[in-house]
Amino acid sequence: KVNPCDPGLSLSPGRSVMAEPDYLEGDCDELIKPKKLINPVKTSRNHQDLHRELLMNQKRGLAPQNKPELQKVLEKRKRDQVLKAQKEEQEAHKKRSDLEIELMKRQQKLEQLELEQQKNEEEQENTPEFVKMKSNLRRTKQEADGEERTT
């Protein structure tokens, strides 16, 4: 006869390799029966609140965007490259050669001259016609006086 308290139970041919525990039968009261361990994380109030909040957010469709670690690393690298490129551009603007400085000065002077010419043209367009004719007459008179003195 097989004693259920005996640890050396033989497996019948129809059973799997895993033996069923013999203490479930309730025949042996002298064995210590295992109890399910309490998980301190799951019993903590913070964990329960967080879990409840996550469930509510999932029902609403506000699930957090959990990205894979590889994607996070790639995005961080890309962000760092963009920042580095911007920094290099700023340094390039700061470190201009003498030639670039001279060219910038000339360009500014040319722009100022063009603005002055445009202002003069606008002033001439806005002045009445008799004032224009008077200035033309003065020029022709000065040119005529200049020719008489040279001859």
pLDDT in tens, 70-87: 888 899 999 999 999 999
Closest among 99, 98, 82, 78 to 90, alpha carbons compared: 82
Contacts of residue 104, Cβ cutoff 8 Å, sequence gap at least 6:
96
The token duo for 17 is 């390799």
Cα Rg for the chain, rounded, in angstroms? 48
Is it the case that residue 114 has pLDDT exceeding 90? yes
Structure tokens at 111: 């722009």
pLDDT band at 1 (very low <50, low <70, confident <90, very high): very low
- This prediction has a pTM of 0.28
Q: Name the DSSP class of 4.
A: T
Measured in degrees and rounded to the nearest 5, phi and psi for residue 130 equal: -65, -30
Percent over 70 (pLDDT), the chain = 79
DSSP track, 56-101: HHHHHT-------HHHHHHHHHHHHHHHHHHHHHHHHHHS--HHHH
- Which among 20, 14, 67 has a CA at the least distance from the CA of 4? 20
pLDDT in tens, 10-58: 545 555 566 666 555 666 677 787 888 888 888 889 999 989 988 888 8
Report the pLDDT value the prediction gives residue 58, as an integer from 0 to 100. 80
